[in-house]
Amino acid sequence: MKIRFISILAAVLLLGGAVAPAAIAADLGDVGFVDQAAIATLPAFQAANGQLNAYKSQLDGQYNAAIKAARSDADRQRITIQFQQKFSDKQREVVGPLYTRAKIAIAKVAANDNLTIIVDKRIVIFGGRDATKEVIDLLQSSQALAPPSATPPASEIGFVDQTALDALPKVKAANDEFAKFATDQRAAFSAKFASARTDADKAQVGKDYNKTLSDKQDQLLKPLVDQTKSVTADVAKKKNLLLVIDRADVIFGGTDITKDVQDALSK
């Protein structure tokens, strides 16, 4: 009787062990990636870039002539802004439609393959679903692409916009302070370098300079980086996310938690 009970218990345990992971939560199979470098080599993108480069060369000549004729710094600034605007307009005109088509193609592939996020290939070391070929095939097809009607499902991979976080007053203040420190140290160490006589002395100056900057970075910026990571993790936990990556690596989908992290850091 006792043996039978143990046998049943063990069998239940085994069975439970075998099915548990699938029953509790499925593995994350909805992460895709795209090789953006491969897309950039497509003839349409290369032609657009060639066109843009030719326009830039032509614009550079005009810009140099205009700058030479400028009589004041204000003139020079106005001319620079004017030419930058011209280039941006051309960029929008030449590359804009291609980017829009690429974005739609990526969204369609994500919808077809049930991917909740598509990231840049560079950050995926192993696994994931390579969507590059599907995206390229769609891009190169002659068919008109309409954006998928359904919005992408929520992803358990989140992202934060580091640029936006860097613009927070306390982060900016720390970055500015570090930049000033680096400039001062550069001047001080260059004087030391000038009086160093042997190669060994010069190498030591370089080493000391790097260490000085690294120490200051640890003192000034590391606490902020740690705090940002901790706050990001807290927000991610509340939003039931597994991981958070940088926005720059996200091509499509994902869960944006930048605002929540900004708010939490600003408290």
Q: Does 5 bind other proteins (CB under 8 A)?
A: no
In the complex with other proteins, which residue's Cβ is closer, 48 or 109? Answer: 109
Using CB under 8 A as the binding rule, whether residue 7 contacts other proteins is answered as yes
Restricting to residues 183-212, name those near other proteins by CB under 8 A: 186-187, 189-190, 193-195, 197, 202-203, 205-207, 209-210
Element at 136 (helix H, strand E) = helix 132-140
CA pair distance 220, 120, nearest whole angstrom: 31
Residues 6+ apart with CB under 8 A from 29: 129
Return the number of the residue (30 or 48) whose C-beta is nearest other proteins.
30
Question: Which phi and psi (to 5°) does residue 115 adopt?
Answer: -95, 135
Helix, strand, or coil (residue 102): helix
Show the binding pattern over residues 108-137: x = contacts other proteins (CB under 8 A), - = does not: -----------x--xxxxxxx---------
Q: Are 242 and 116 in contact (CB under 8 A)?
A: no
By CB under 8 A, residue 156 contacts other proteins: yes
Cβ neighbours of residue 38 closer than 8 Å, sequence gap 6 or more: 132, 136
> Residue 168 CB, nearest distance to other proteins (Å)?
15
Nearest to 95 by CA among 131, 64, 55: 55
- Give the footprint of other proteins on this chain (CB under 8 A): 3-4, 6-7, 10-11, 13-14, 17, 21-22, 24-29, 31, 68-69, 71, 119, 122-128, 156, 159-160, 162, 186-187, 189-190, 193-195, 197, 202-203, 205-207, 209-210, 229-230, 232-233, 236-237, 241-246
